[in-house]
Amino acid sequence: MLIVQKFGGTSVGNLDRIQNVAKRVSATKKDGNDLVVVVSAMSGETNKLVGYAEHFSKNPSRAEMDMLLSSGERVTASLLSIALSEMGHDALAMTGRKAGIVTDDSHTKARIEEINPQAMHDALHDGKIVIVAGFQGVNAKGDITTLGRGGSDLSAVAIAGALKADLCEIYTDVSGIYTTDPRIEPKAKKLDNISYDEMLELASLGAKVLQNRSVEMAKKLNVNLVTRTSFSNEQGTLITKEENIMEAPLVSGIALDRNQARISLMGVKDRPGIASDIFNKLATAEVNVDMIIQNKAHDGATNIDFTVPVNDLHDAKLVVDTFVKSGDVDADSYNEDICKVSVVGVGMKSHVGVAACAFSTMADNNININMISTSEIKVSMVIDEKYAELAVRSLHDAYELEK
């Protein structure tokens, strides 16, 4: 078999753990498999580098950030390769560039455009264990780019797709996908399998166990994806097509996203085209707008509220400022102390009452809902951040997910 194994930050968090990873990789190789290993930076390393940059600037150049942040993954890749060589294996560490990962220009959240896997093929053909520094690629100009936080998951899935690997294993610090973050709700239950679509919703709504774009890519390329722990041999969770899952539960999980900020625009001139103007400018600035609420106009003006990831807040403020200056918007305000809790399940498509249950659960706990959005398979609510954990636990109880 050709297997892609990805090891996250905690799994390579210190030298002993890198040695452990080397042992697991060695065993997989000795079982007769071809192997590409994708690694993250040691845990805390990427945040440390971000902190270094922030020491000098509140808004450092994104291209320089990519140059800086991509270094963490290179450290782990080379250390793992050195450890494997010492164990008698023929291993070769590669940067994203050498692995042929070509992206667009969108520094710090680049999209993979193509993978030229020749170097990986050649090394595999020579019997080598290929080790790839995750999270990074290179744009057409040859500059280093990174794939967004948590992006090593995407590197692994994209490589598995490009090499037509039989299996892509994501090794992390929990033993699979749970009904909610087991660090918030210890009663959370591990799922044996989950559909690509539900996993995509959970990931997009804040369950950082898999980066959302990696799930999107896995679905598109039909990659057999398994999430499991690097600390034991416990079986993980298979992420697969909906039709492979016998009995889809009504609700499969609760997600929490703490990295949201709310922007309120007061006294927005009520004329055709104003919303289009504002949100087009935000899109051009690559700000990811999520929920939007517009109130009924009163005296020719209206209020618009929307949410963005905290990381995009700085760029969003620059755009909003131009509308305040031009007089199209009277005033703006910002709130970072919010979070988004979401209930996800494909079973919702055919059942009523799921949203109502979410709202009454918030009411029973005296939690005020600030914003709501729904789709066929999710209900999301923006609430004050101080209620985040209470909301997750009470929703988990309300839908009886521990059963």
Residues in contact with Mg ion by the rule CB under 5 A = 8, 150
40 binds ligand ADP (CB under 6 A): yes
Point out the residue whose Cβ comes nearest to Mg ion: 150
Look at residue 282 and give its three-state secondary structure: helix
Coarse DSSP helix, strand, coil percentages of the chain, rounded to the nearest 5 percent: 40, 30, 35
168 binds ligand ADP (CB under 6 A): no
Site string for ligand ADP, 1-30 (x = CB under 6 A): -------xxxx-------------------
CA distance 183 to 388: 13
Strands 237-240 and 225-229 come out as: antiparallel
Compute the least distance from the CB of residue 246 to ligand ASP, in Å. 32
Residues at the interface with ligand ASP (CB under 6 A)? 8-9, 40-41, 46, 72, 134-135, 149-153
Q: Taking a C-beta distance cutoff of 8 angstroms, is the pair 146, 110 a contact?
A: yes
Judged by CB under 6 A, the stretch of 125-133, 139-147, 177-185, 238-246 that binds ligand ADP is 177-185
Token pair for residue 269? Answer: 């001139």
Compute the least distance from the CB of residue 170 to ligand ASP, in Å. 10
Element (H, E) at 341: strand 329-344
Identify residues 182-201 at the interface with ligand ADP (CB under 6 A).
Answer: 182-183
Compute the least distance from the CB of residue 36 to ligand ASP, in Å. 16
Q: Taking a C-beta distance cutoff of 8 angstroms, is the pair 92, 78 a contact?
A: no
Return the number of the residue (34 or 201) whose C-beta is nearest ligand ADP. Answer: 201
Return the number of the residue (11 or 394) whose C-beta is nearest ligand ADP. Answer: 11
CA distance 319 to 214: 30
Compute the least distance from the CB of residue 101 to ligand ADP, in Å. 18
208 binds ligand ADP (CB under 6 A): yes
Q: Which does 10 bind (CB under 5 to 8 A by kind): ligand ASP, Mg ion, ligand ADP, none?
A: ligand ADP
Which residues are 380's β-sheet partners? 342, 373
Closest to 114 (Cα-Cα) out of 69, 159, 63: 159
Return the number of the residue (178 or 306) whose C-beta is nearest ligand ADP. Answer: 178
Amino acid at 202: L
Q: Among all chains, which residue has been given the structure tokens 């039909």? A: 222
Q: Which does 177 bind (CB under 5 to 8 A by kind): ligand ADP, ligand ASP, Mg ion, none?
A: ligand ADP
172 binds ligand ADP (CB under 6 A): yes
Strands 225-229 and 167-172 come out as: parallel
48 binds ligand ADP (CB under 6 A): no
181 binds ligand ADP (CB under 6 A): yes
Return the number of the residue (8 or 96) whose C-beta is nearest Mg ion. Answer: 8
Return the number of the residue (13 or 117) whose C-beta is nearest ligand ADP. Answer: 13
C-alpha distances out from residue 10 to 40, 44, 113, 174, 222, Å? 9, 9, 29, 10, 27
Compute the least distance from the CB of residue 265 to ligand ADP, in Å. 32
Q: Which does 181 bind (CB under 5 to 8 A by kind): ligand ADP, ligand ASP, Mg ion, none?
A: ligand ADP
Return the number of the residue (72 or 176) whose C-beta is nearest ligand ASP. Answer: 72
Token pair for residue 5? Answer: 């194994």
Strand stretches in 19-156, DSSP E: 34-39, 91-94, 101-103, 112-115, 129-133, 136-138, 144-146
Q: Among all chains, which residue has been given the structure tokens 């106009």? A: 297
Q: Which does 135 bind (CB under 5 to 8 A by kind): ligand ADP, Mg ion, ligand ASP, none?
A: ligand ASP
CB atoms within 10 A of CB 24: 17
Judged on CB neighbours under 10 Å (0-12, 13-18, 19+), 159 is: buried
**Residue ranges that bind ligand ADP, judged by CB under 6 A:** 8-11, 40, 150, 172-174, 177-178, 180-183, 202, 207-209, 253
